[in-house]
A = this chain, B = another copy of it.
Amino acid sequence: MSRKDEEMLVENKEWILSAYAPQGVPTTDHLKLQTKTFTLSNDSIPDHHVAVQLLWLSVDPYLRTRMTGSQDGLYSPQFELNQVLTAYGIGRVIRSKETTYRIGDIVVNPFSPVAEYCIVPIDHLRKVDPHSNIPLPDYLSALGVPGFAAWVAIEVLGQVKPGENVFISAAAGGVGMYAGQLAKIKGCRVIGSTGSDEKVKLLKDELGFDDAFNYNKESDLDAALSKYFPNGIDIYLENVGGKMLEAVLNHVNYRARIPVCGMISQYNQVWTEREGVRNLLNIVGKELKIEGYMVGSYLNRLGDFAKEMEDHMKQGKISSKHKIYYGIESFVESLGSIFSSSNIGKVCVQVNKDI
């Protein structure tokens, strides 16, 4: 291949944040798709970088929390205005001067620009084993951010023990579905709450939960928890916050653990309008441990996680459910879908076909 052949101009579509969204679900009022011409040539690639074509994009709730424009209890740092967003992605190397990366290598990048093409530092990348028969979307789900977040919650913070009663909120979401399955593998009794009957069915019939309920149909959360947890709750994976947390605090057992992965019911309001939790006094009397976490702080355990999760997957013990959007244009719609209870499974965007 001649030098000339390597050069190529492509139209590159990319998402930028044009305005912060302090409240509500971000829309095209805040997120803009722009097209820029991108020169593909080895000369334009700095040392220790490669050019990547994006194949898959992971769409997770934490992305929304980086679009608020303030720090009032949300994840930091906020995205910068008019810059290309970043997210967890999978791509294919299309230009490389590095001997360790070849054209065609499939790479995972936790900090991938939300763009069809990009030039990225190789120290952000991890190669996908070309002999693995794990489907690529599973690298965004079971083996990606949600799977790792589930494992940290159950194993590290939850310190799960066989026979314990585990309650998972947002159980059909990316983190919830793996957390429930991991707790089942550990010998727990696992109940999930979710927002539709279709998802209740998914949890019980496909993901092996002992039971599940649709919180939209429970007028009295307290009564529901009494029914599903006659012996109380030992681990509560907190994904939603607000009224659900308040109800749970009256049902957790002595020395229960509450890993706090997110509070999705609370992301779209300013904090003074969020639901107050009135029964925090349970923290004292029950000696509760409530611990917020972001997976980035547990990267030293990533190897342990990946080994365990791949073993489970090889043995067919972990099922995944993906909600796939097609084309980078669908990013804003896919992000909005996270906040709808009709959403089912881990949300991904297939940006380009893996061929």
Known contacts A73-B282, A250-B72, A271-B281; A287/B276 CB under 8 A: no
Total copies of this chain within the assembly:
2
Sample of 24 A–B contacts (CB below 8 Å): A71-B285, A73-B250, A73-B280, A73-B281, A73-B282, A73-B284, A75-B285, A241-B281, A245-B280, A261-B284, A262-B284, A263-B283, A263-B284, A271-B279, A272-B278, A283-B290, A284-B292, A284-B294, A285-B294, A287-B292, A288-B290, A288-B292, A289-B292, A290-B290
Q: Are B274 and A278 in contact (CB under 8 A)?
A: yes
Q: Are B297 and A292 in contact (CB under 8 A)?
A: no
Q: Are A285 and B76 in contact (CB under 8 A)?
A: yes
Known contacts A72-B279, A271-B278, A275-B276; A290/B287 CB under 8 A: no
A141 interface contact, C-beta 8 A: no
Distance between Cα atoms of A275 and B275 in the complex (Å): 11
A260 interface contact, C-beta 8 A: yes
Q: Are A260 and B283 in contact (CB under 8 A)?
A: yes
A65 interface contact, C-beta 8 A: yes
Nearest-neighbor residue (CB-CB) of A274 within chain B: B278
Distance between Cα atoms of A262 and B297 in the complex (Å): 29
Q: In the complex, which residues of chain B have a beta carbon less than 8 angstroms from the beta carbon of A283?
A: 260, 263, 290-292
User: What is the minimal beta-carbon distance from A247 to any residue of chain B, in angstroms?
Assistant: 12
Q: Are A266 and B281 in contact (CB under 8 A)?
A: yes
A140 interface contact, C-beta 8 A: no
Taking CB atoms and an 8 Å cut-off, the chain A residues in 243-284 that contact chain B are 245, 249-250, 254, 260-263, 266-267, 271-284
Chain A binding surface, main DSSP class: loop
Q: In the complex, which residues of chain B have a beta carbon less than 8 angstroms from the beta carbon of A114?
A: none
Distance between Cα atoms of A24 and B245 in the complex (Å): 26
User: What is the minimal beta-carbon distance from A113 to any residue of chain B, in angstroms?
Assistant: 23
Q: In the complex, which residues of chain B have a beta carbon less than 8 angstroms from the beta carbon of A228?
A: none
Mask of A176-191 contacts with B, CB within 8 angstroms, 1/0? 0000000000000000
Q: Are A287 and B297 in contact (CB under 8 A)?
A: yes
Distance between Cα atoms of A297 and B288 in the complex (Å): 12
Q: In the complex, which residues of chain B have a beta carbon less than 8 angstroms from the beta carbon of A260?
A: 283-284
A286 interface contact, C-beta 8 A: yes
A67 interface contact, C-beta 8 A: no
User: What is the minimal beta-carbon distance from A278 to any residue of chain B, in angstroms?
Assistant: 4
A293 interface contact, C-beta 8 A: yes
Q: In the complex, which residues of chain B have a beta carbon less than 8 angstroms from the beta carbon of A278?
A: 271-277
Distance between Cα atoms of A77 and B280 in the complex (Å): 18
A74 interface contact, C-beta 8 A: yes
Distance between Cα atoms of A261 and B278 in the complex (Å): 17
Distance between Cα atoms of A292 and B289 in the complex (Å): 6
Q: In the complex, which residues of chain B have a beta carbon less than 8 angstroms from the beta carbon of A275?
A: 276, 278
Distance between Cα atoms of A71 and B250 in the complex (Å): 9
User: What is the minimal beta-carbon distance from A253 to any residue of chain B, in angstroms?
Assistant: 12
User: What is the minimal beta-carbon distance from A233 to any residue of chain B, in angstroms?
Assistant: 14
